[in-house]
């Protein structure tokens, strides 16, 4: 019989890195949710309807893509997904202050960014939760799940306040610079994981053929 792998504790270094990267990524998303509408009003001059529409884009994207993206992530390697989604969000969010400085920022660009960042957040969250089982095994898995979930809810609670404070200190566009950098920090944390990532499960192929009927006597 092969040797059974020993349980990986919740205190492991790789879990702490995943936890830190997830916390930074989620906090960045929460800050962006506050800063984007402020930018829409103060820089683009968006109306109340347009601000509501911007929020609706995020909500509709989450509702439509949560299940299919989660299913897609399940059969892919998780670390590349987390790193790519962080880098994509960095580029998307960083484009806002750049466009604002060049005086070419539009409401349409903000809507596209809202959809992109919401999609990336769904994929990142699904990947981080699925990848947790590769970093923590045994009794510590329940505690690790609890820590990630608590961090997610904490970011939802603290994120708006942090976003408001950053906007007060650096302005709406300036706060998005810090927000964008947070995604690079998260990607760097995920990049330093050392535990080998197991191969993803293989999706079962369906032939699509109906069961054969009975043969004639």
pLDDT per residue as tens digits for the range 92-129: 999 999 999 999 999 999 999 999 999 999 999 899 88
Q: Residue 48's domain is classified under what CATH number? A: 1.20.1250.20
| Span 129-187, pLDDT tens digits | 888 888 887 777 888 888 888 888 888 788 788 888 888 888 888 889 988 999 999 99
- Continuous segment of H or E residues that includes residue 149: helix 140-191
Sequence-distant (≥ 6) Cβ neighbours of residue 41 within 8 angstroms: 51
Identify the pLDDT of residue 27: 85
pLDDT, residue 216, reads: 44
Query: Does residue 20 form part of some domain?
Result: yes
Residue 170 covered by a domain? yes
Q: Residue 21: inside a domain, yes or no? A: yes
Mean per-residue pLDDT for 31-52? 91
Domain coverage including residue 165: 13-135+149-191
Q: What is the pTM of this model?
A: 0.82
Going from the C-alpha of 204 to that of each of 84, 199, 207, the distances in angstroms are: 26, 15, 10
Per-residue pLDDT, averaged over 53-60, amounts to 92
Please indicate, yes or no, if residue 157 is contained in any of the structural domains. yes
Domain total in the chain = 1
The answer to whether position 206 is within a domain reads: no
């Amino acid at each position: 019989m092969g040797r059974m792998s020993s349980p990986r504790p919740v205190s492991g270094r790789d879990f702490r890195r995943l936890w830190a990267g997830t916390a930074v990524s989620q906090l960045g998303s929460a800050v962006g949710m506050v800063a984007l509408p402020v930018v829409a009003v103060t820089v683009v001059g968006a109306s109340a309807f347009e601000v509501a529409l911007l929020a609706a884009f995020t909500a509709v994207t989450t509702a439509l893509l949560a299940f299919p993206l989660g299913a897609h992530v399940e059969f892919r390697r998780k670390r590349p997904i987390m790193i790519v989604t962080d880098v994509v969000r960095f580029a998307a969010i960083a484009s806002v202050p750049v466009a604002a400085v060049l005086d070419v920022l539009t409401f349409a660009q903000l809507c596209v960014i809202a959809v992109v960042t919401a999609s990336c957040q769904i994929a990142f969250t699904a990947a981080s939760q699925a990848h947790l089982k590769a970093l923590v095994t045994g009794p510590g898995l329940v505690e690790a799940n609890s820590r990630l979930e608590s961090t997610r809810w904490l970011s939802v609670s603290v994120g708006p306040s942090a976003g408001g404070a950053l906007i007060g200190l650096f302005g709406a566009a300036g706060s998005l610079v810090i927000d964008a950098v947070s995604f690079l920090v998260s990607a760097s944390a995920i990049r330093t994981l050392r535990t080998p990532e197991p191969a993803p499960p293989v999706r079962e192929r369906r032939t699509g053929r109906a069961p054969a009927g009975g043969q004639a006597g």
